Amino acid sequence: MSDASLAARQIQYEQRTFWRNPASAFFAFVFPIIFLVIFGTLNNGVMVTVNGHKGVSYDDYYIPALVAFGLMGACFTNIAISMSIRRESGLLKRFRGTPLPPWAFMVGVIGSSVVVAAVLSGITTVFGMLAYHVQSPKHILALVLVLAVGAMVFCALGLAVAAVIPNADAAPAIVNAVLLPLVFISGTFFPISSSSVLARIAEYFPVRHLITATYTAFDPTGSSTTGIDGNDLLIMGAWGLAALMIAVRRFQWEPPRH
């Protein structure tokens, strides 16, 4: 079997594992839609200021932010928690003892998360367009590039965090403690002025840059010619590279010895 066939088969296996847990799969897709219904309905008709542009519909801002939020959940949260659980249960050790190459296993895990993120992004966007009359993305290729970079970066971050999580019981608490504060200060649920202290802090982290990059690709104001902000992609790429280095050096296949 060629390397490409092996990787594709492992992605298929991971997808089957994901969909065979219907409760987990259901809430993975419904959770962002619940946020959309709540905040979209509460702020329906509200106009906000985004990057100096006044009179932007809240929903036109919120849908790109929610697409980014869903991607982070599918890639970062899912990988960090699931890999911690697999390691402590001994599944990773058993995988390591099979003929399956470690790289193929990782490709399967990452590829499956990317598939989930892509489907979730599409559902969120279409639901926002149909239910809240959100504008369609103006720069499709730019959006695909942003989401691809974001998926790779947050998958790498998920592996890096999984490498330092001590046990499966601590995984949800650690992951949420890392992600949720950044989600709020980065303007996921409401635009935050770039001059505020919280926004300045968030500028150092990839969460805000994924949100702003996704918004730029949607470009509801029509102010961007390409839909790409190189600075956002550069900072996300730097975080992804650092996370990959940590994951390569620290990731363990066997549960920690107590």
Residue 142 CA to residue 214 CA, distance in Å, equals 9
One-letter identity of residue 53: H
For residue 109, the model assigns a pLDDT of 94
For residue 3, the model assigns a pLDDT of 82
Q: Two tokens at 206?
A: 């990839």
**pLDDT mean over 50-66:** 88
Report whether pLDDT(257) > 60: yes
Q: What Rg value do the Cα atoms of the chain yield, rounded?
A: 19
For residue 21, the model assigns a pLDDT of 82
- What are the distances in angstroms from CA 213 to CA 40, 52, 61, 168, 224? 21, 16, 12, 33, 11
For residue 240, the model assigns a pLDDT of 96
Burial zone of 51 (CB within 10 Å; 0-12 exposed, 13-18 middle, 19+ buried): middle
Report whether pLDDT(46) > 90: no
3-state SS track over 175-201: HHHHHHHHHHHCCCCCCCCCCCHHHHH
Q: Indicate the helix (H) or strand (E) that contains 199.
A: helix 197-202
**pLDDT mean over 107-118:** 94
* Of 19-33, 66-80, 141-155, the least confident: 19-33
Report whether pLDDT(258) > 60: no
Residue 135 CA to residue 126 CA, distance in Å, equals 10
For residue 4, the model assigns a pLDDT of 84
Question: Average pLDDT of the chain?
Answer: 90
* Of 26-30, 57-61, 143-147, 232-236, the least confident: 26-30
Whether residue 79 contacts residue 109, with contact meaning beta carbons closer than 8 Å, is answered with: yes
**pLDDT mean over 149-173:** 93
Report whether pLDDT(116) > 70: yes
For residue 201, the model assigns a pLDDT of 93
Q: What percentage of the chain exceeds 90 in pLDDT?
A: 59
Report whether pLDDT(40) > 70: yes
Whether residue 155 contacts residue 251, with contact meaning beta carbons closer than 8 Å, is answered with: no
**pLDDT mean over 130-149:** 92
* Of 24-28, 62-66, 136-140, 247-251, the least confident: 24-28
**pLDDT mean over 156-181:** 92
Report whether pLDDT(28) > 60: yes
Q: Which of 172, 192, 163 is nearest to 251 (CA)?
A: 163
Helical packing angle, 102-132 and 22-42, nearest 10°: 40
Report whether pLDDT(58) > 80: yes
Helical packing angle, 140-164 and 78-89, nearest 10°: 30
For residue 97, the model assigns a pLDDT of 83
pTM of the model: 0.92
